[in-house]
Amino acid sequence: MRRETLALLAVFAVLALVPVLAELTGQTSWTRLVGQALIYGMAAASLNFILGYGGMISFGHATFFGIGGYVVGILYFHFDEGTRFLGIIPGTGQMLLTLPAAILVSGLAAALVGALSLRTGGVQFIMITLAFAQMFFFLFISLKTYGGEDGVMVRRTNSLPGLNMRDKATLYWVILVVAAGYYLFLRQLVRSSFGQIIAGIRQNERRMTAMGVATYRYKLAAFILSGMGAGLAGALMVNFLRFASPDMLHWTRSGELMVMVILGGVGTLAGPFVGAAALTIIETLLSRLTEHWMLPVGVLLLAVVLLSRGGLMALIARMTGGRGK
């Protein structure tokens, strides 16, 4: 077996043992922490696909994270009430239905935002993605039916046939399996013919056009795929935390996702997961020590951006003697 495969299996095994170890040592909050880090890792990895591999600096990625979450929340709300969404779509609490629905809806939203935003570039692209994110943010705030600013509660985690999803450890393992699957999906995507075109567009869009590539189409496809990934992560998060709120779509959340990508290492597969874990753990540990935890996080981020190139993944690569990207 190749070294990379071995490393991935080892990491997966360790992560799978987290609930058991947490139970044994009495540190049960670790399961929650690592689960959250895995979900943010997926969201950050989906952003990294357009940001790191595709060179599109989207400042509104939390939108799709939040939309995915709201799909779960709204479907549960109607399931609970026995009503229909817009009088047509019945609610559900089945994960096999809610996750695909979340992926689909966030993909549609990404198609809309991407189709318009990708007509611009540079600073304007950053700002227009931010503008769309704000629009969705205020849209969800104004939906009184679904709790407005407070968001919507999901009193029971979505169910999966044959599993007791109310058990925290079971839910954690489901999240781990989905996250691992998503990691493998991204790895495949980066190696594919499509991934190669995307990498080319990041490096030199004019050259790709001169080669006969209609770059807009490829960028849009990447944007949609990325939004779908964020939607999936958001759907898991709402299952995990059992509520969806506009806070998931706030622009600082988009900023945090970018921070995770940069912290871990732009344009690497594992980087966003490492960055998400680092940020989640740092935040949790620091917030136990001081209410001013944002200050050291800000300093750390500033130091990473100004001083290091390549984030934590480059550091790990240097330490293990491998080569960084």
Per CB under 8 A, residues contacting another protein are 51, 57, 59, 116, 119-124, 126-128, 130-132, 134-135, 138-139, 141-144, 148, 188-189, 191-197, 199-200, 203-204, 206-215, 218, 221, 251-252, 255, 258-259, 262, 266, 292, 294-295, 297-299, 301-302, 305-306
| Cα atoms in the 13 Å half-sphere on the side-chain side of 104 | 8
16/180 with CB nearer another protein: 180
Query: What is the nearest approach in angstroms of another protein to the Cβ of residue 161?
Result: 27
Query: What is the nearest approach in angstroms of another protein to the Cβ of residue 222?
Result: 10
Query: What is the nearest approach in angstroms of another protein to the Cβ of residue 141?
Result: 5
User: Per the structure block, which two tokens stand in for 50?
Assistant: 């357009």
Is residue 62 within a helix (H) or strand (E), and if so which, with residue range? helix 62-81
267, 79 Cβ separation under 8 angstroms = no
160/200 with CB nearer another protein: 200
Query: What is the nearest approach in angstroms of another protein to the Cβ of residue 144?
Result: 5
Note the helical H segments in 242-310: 251-264, 271-289, 294-307
Query: What is the nearest approach in angstroms of another protein to the Cβ of residue 253?
Result: 12
Of 273, 296, 274, give the one whose Cα is nearest residue 283: 296
- Mapped onto helix, strand or coil, the DSSP state of residue 117 is helix
128/269 with CB nearer another protein: 128
22, 28 Cβ separation under 8 angstroms = yes
DSSP string, 294-324: HHHHHHHHHHHHHH-SSHHHHHHHHHHT---
Query: What is the nearest approach in angstroms of another protein to the Cβ of residue 77?
Result: 16
Task: Report the residue count for the chain.
Answer: 325
Query: What is the nearest approach in angstroms of another protein to the Cβ of residue 301?
Result: 4
187, 269 Cβ separation under 8 angstroms = yes
243, 151 Cβ separation under 8 angstroms = yes
- Side chain identity, residue 223: F
